[in-house]
């Protein structure tokens, strides 16, 4: 069985940033500014003032059951040059029977039937 987190192998999560979290029904959408690796099919050379190729998108978890959640200290929320809020770095880990999402302001352990990345289309 393939590890669903392998879908994250082509991004640098440590240099990606949480933009927001949307819960709708039993689906969670982690809105993220992804730092893509050179192996990602959507990779392009970084802009002159950036370290990585960045693309907005979501990590989507379907049929979610929350196992535990802990709020952290509310951090200083940064703002990107385009005015988008930046809630800090993110981490996803496989746990026994589920997943762990960690950011500066939330730790969430959950089960999901699927986990996938969808990038926004560039205009």
**pTM value surpassing 0.85:** no
Give the rounded distance of the alpha carbon of 89 from its chain centre: 9
Mean pLDDT to the nearest integer, 91-97: 84
- Residues 80, 95: Cα–Cα separation, whole Å: 32
Mean pLDDT to the nearest integer, 2-24: 81
pLDDT over 70 for what percent of the chain?
80
16 and 89 in contact (C-beta within 8 Å)?
Answer: yes
Which has the higher per-residue pLDDT, 81 or 30? 30
pLDDT on residue 38: 92
Whether the predicted pLDDT of 4 surpasses 80: no
pLDDT on residue 92: 86
pLDDT digits 0-9 by tens, 35-79: 999 998 899 999 998 889 999 999 999 999 999 988 766 555 666
pLDDT on residue 1: 42
Whether the predicted pLDDT of 117 surpasses 60: yes
- Residues 119, 8: Cα–Cα separation, whole Å: 12
Whether the predicted pLDDT of 108 surpasses 50: yes
Residue with tokens 């385009």: 82
Whether the predicted pLDDT of 24 surpasses 70: yes
Of the candidates 78, 93, 94, 61, the one whose C-alpha atom is nearest the C-alpha of residue 17 is 78
């Amino acid at each position: 069985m393939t590890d669903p987190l392998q879908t994250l192998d082509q991004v640098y999560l440590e240099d990606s940033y949480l933009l927001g979290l949307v819960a709708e029904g039993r689906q969670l959408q982690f809105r993220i500014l992804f730092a893509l690796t050179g192996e990602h099919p959507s990779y392009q050379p970084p802009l002159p003032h950036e370290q990585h190729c960045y693309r907005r998108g979501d990590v989507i978890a379907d049929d979610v059951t929350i196992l535990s959640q802990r709020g952290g200290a509310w951090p200083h929320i940064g703002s990107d040059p385009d005015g988008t809020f930046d809630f800090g770095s993110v981490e996803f880990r496989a746990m026994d029977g589920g997943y762990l999402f960690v950011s500066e302001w939330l730790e969430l352990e959950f089960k999901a039937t699927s986990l996938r990345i969808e990038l926004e289309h560039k205009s």
